[in-house]
Amino acid sequence: MSIVAIVGRPNVGKSTFFNRLIQRREAIVDAISGVTRDRHYGKSDWNGKEFSLIDTGGYVVGSDDIFEAEIDKQVELAIDEADAIIFMVDVESGVTGMDEEVAQLLRKSKKPVFLAVNKVDSANRLHDAVEFYSLGFEKYYPISGINGSGSGDLLDDLVKVLPETETRDDDELPRFAVVGRPNAGKSSFINALIGEERFVVTDIAGTTRDSIDTKYNRFGFEFNLVDTAGIRKKSKVKEDLEFYSVMRSVRAIEHCDVIMLVFDATRGFDGQVQNIFWLAERNNKGIVILVNKWDLVEGKDNRTTKDFEAYIRKQCEPFTDVPIVFISALTKQRIFKAIETAVEVFKNRSRRIKTSQLNDIMLPIIQTTPPPALKGKYVKIKFCTQLPTPHPCFAFFANLPQYVKEPYKRFLENKLREHFDFTGVPVTIYIRKK
């Protein structure tokens, strides 16, 4: 698919315009400058032509700020990747020195550049936009990212220069979300996997703010990897910006197939990591636990891994059938094993068992160990089937379903896990009236 990058200095409205074009509120928008840090991808179409859109962080020349230096790197990568560039400026501020620096960078790129003068919300501001001719581009487009005015003319000219490409629907691809606390190494893990500095990584907690998709193909299996912002306790979230970041991460969990829960081995499997684990379990997602920074754990011997694994499983009771992989994003230790395990969990979550096979295995077990009698009533289960749901759900049909309690449901679940591979996937048991 053709790629269009939106670039400009901080706070000119790039993310607002990006959200309008993809018709979803994906990128966080705030009055604070420098909210966007990573390259953020979305899909848009105009006049029947689809293209991929990149929202970038604001470009700042010669700053000492650690984030701004990293953001500039991301912007330069986006420019290299793009077939066309929307250069966004702000009519309220007029032409600034930073705009001139960005214009110079874009002229060097030899890519088609469309100068979009944003925040032209009224006819009075149309006259103010004339000064942007000084940036040396043949034409400018007065637009408003908020209400969309003027964007049609810009997009008409933009799609004319885009190369013809085949389109295909990426929404059908499985989604694997990388989640965890701030600073657990989520972005470093994805950068190590894809072999490029796709995400900004610093020692400062909360570097990633948006939930961002990356297409990935490994082991003959294609899927979307989603990097998310770190999730902290509600009481620790002080600013609006972080609140929205956490909301995006929770939404990423709700809309994915498999959760890769990354936590820092030096901090342990603490309460907040467990909260994220149970959030994924409640949403019936496949789960892989990744113990990151394992290279930093001192005094390891042949028992350390087993003991640590036993400790994690103890915290996850009663859902203990979860794969645990010890990794290091820095040294790339076992990172591909982590992806391979996530692919297996996805296959387990999609597993379908024939009704005849299910009954042949489960009914003899139920006959040998029936549900306990209650108030002199005996429960008889005569039939079971898997329900057509995205995750494994089974219905057992009984004469008195109200007398089958949770411990017996857990017994049925354990027997299902013994005979069929549902590792890493929550299994739901329903007892219904036959």
Specify binding-site residues. 8-15, 55-59, 118-121, 180-187, 227-231, 292-295
Closest to 83 in 3D by CA, of 112, 54, 59, 107: 112
Residue at token pair 């309690």: 405
Please check whether residue 393 is in contact with residue 386, taking contact to mean a CB–CB distance below 8 angstroms: yes
Q: Is 89 exposed, middle or buried (0-12, 13-18, 19+ CB in 10 A)?
A: buried
Of 115, 142, 143, the closest CA to residue 16 belongs to: 143
Residues in contact with 282: Cβ distance below 8 Å, sequence separation at least 6, in sequence order? none
What does the angle CA 406 – CA 410 – CA 413 come to, to the nearest 5 degrees? Answer: 140
- Full strand arrangement of the beta sheet holding 49-55: 40-46, 49-55, 3-7, 84-90, 113-118, 140-142
Alpha helices in 111-205 (DSSP H): 124-128, 151-161, 186-194
Nearest alpha-carbon partner for 51 in 8, 22, 89: 22
What are the DSSP E strand ranges found in 228-327?
258-264, 286-292, 324-326
Beta strands in 94-236 (DSSP E): 113-118, 140-142, 175-180, 212-218, 221-227
Annotated binding site for GTP: which residue ranges?
8-15, 55-59, 118-121, 180-187, 227-231, 292-295
Name residues whose C-beta falls within 8 Å of residue 288's C-beta, 6 or more positions apart in sequence.
258, 259, 260, 261, 322, 323, 325, 338, 341, 342, 345, 424
Which tokens in the block code for residue 166? 């085949």
